[in-house]
Amino acid sequence: MKSALRPSLSALTIAVVGVLALASCASTEAAEPAATTASTVTIEDNHGSIEVPVNPERLVALDNTTFQTLSDWGVEVVAAPKPLMYDLWPSLVGDDVLDVGLHREPDIEAIVEADPDLIIGGYRFSEIYADLTAIQPATIEINARDGEDHASELKRQVAILGQIFDRDDEAQQIADDFDAAIADAKAAYNGTDSVIGLITSGGEIAYAAPGDGRGVGTLFPTLDLVPAIEQAAEDTSHGDDISVEAIAAANPEWLVVLDRDGAFNEEGYVPAKELIEGSEALANVPAVQKGQVVYLDPNFYLDESIQAYTALYAAVAEAFGAAK
């Protein structure tokens, strides 16, 4: 007679197997947190907190200021505004990447066809933000915000990208390189030389107001440059009309120049260097006489990434340093 309190061999075997199985499960469960990567992360974009997928499989990227980082990290996208990029990021040019078109006439159907699980919008595409969120609620805007410290905004953006693509260390390194370039430029500036920011396009020279817009204007508050002209901006994107005589009258020691057409080299293009240094009215300006003109990289207008700004600050640091 089998005791009711004594398990049979088969029952014992089952129990042992069960315990081992539970132990195995417990062991597996204990190891999972270290081995499992989070599938989502909560970030703070320009609109507030939002949960987005980590390493999204189908990414639509519309913000040109993120392309360099995405390219450096080997992040693939399924759709992008190809006309905006020219050949700067070869990985985005192939037929596998759908063309969203330019922001002035975006191809919404291409974004729908891309079936994204994350959309990175941007300042150029901000007017269709509602359309983007209707396609995919996980739509973020992380471009530099107006009225905020521009340098901090660039670091904020790359830090968010680091969260999304699980590359916090790489993002921090990019930010550190950026800070180092700014520190070098500050150290090289003598603190007194006057500076004017300019934007050239279509054979014309425009004035970039200190602190306004993107590119040249942001250097003034970041480096505490002394402006030779202090006038608020009317057109922060393209610059304001200014005559060469007005520039000459301001007598700047330095010029920092963004050539908006430099990346396109289209018919009729006049390089910024020719416009500035070929002008008789500017011939006696100290900046021209001393060769103290810093031209931004021709691709800067298309890029505008934190890496592009790092290169710009490094160029400014080198120019200031060489003039000492």
Considering the chain, what is the average pLDDT of its residues? 86
Q: What is the pLDDT of residue 6?
A: 31
More confident residue, 253 or 124: 253
List the chain domain ranges.
40-148, 174-323
Same fold, 40-148 and 174-323: yes
pLDDT at residue 4, rounded to an integer: 29
pLDDT band at 39 (very low <50, low <70, confident <90, very high): very high
Domain 174-323 classification at class level: alpha beta
Task: Determine the pLDDT at residue 272.
Answer: 94
Return the higher-pLDDT residue of 32 and 44: 44
Specify the pLDDT at position 86. 66
Q: In the structure, what pLDDT confidence band is assigned to residue 30 with cuts at 50, 70 and 90?
A: very low
Whether pLDDT at 114 is above 70:
yes
How does pLDDT run across 213-229, given as a tens digit for each residue?
778 999 999 999 999 99
Q: In three state form, how does the secondary structure of the chain look?
A: CCCCCCCCHHHHHHHHHHHHHHHHHHHHHHHHHHHCCCCEEEEEECCEEEEEECCCCCEEECCHHHHHHHHHCCCCCCEECHHHHCCCCHHHCCCCCEECCCCCCCCHHHHHHHCCCEEECCHHHHHHHHHHHHHCCCEECCCCCCCCCHHHHHHHHHHHHHHHCCCHHHHHHHHHHHHHHHHHHHHHCCCCCEEEEEEEECCEEEEECCCCCCCHHHHHHHHCCEECCCCCCCCCCCCEECCHHHHHHHCCCEEEEEECCCCCCCCCCCCHHHHHHCCCCCCCCHHHHCCCEEECCCCHHHHCCHHHHHHHHHHHHHHHHHHC
Fold of 40-148: Rossmann fold (3.40.50)
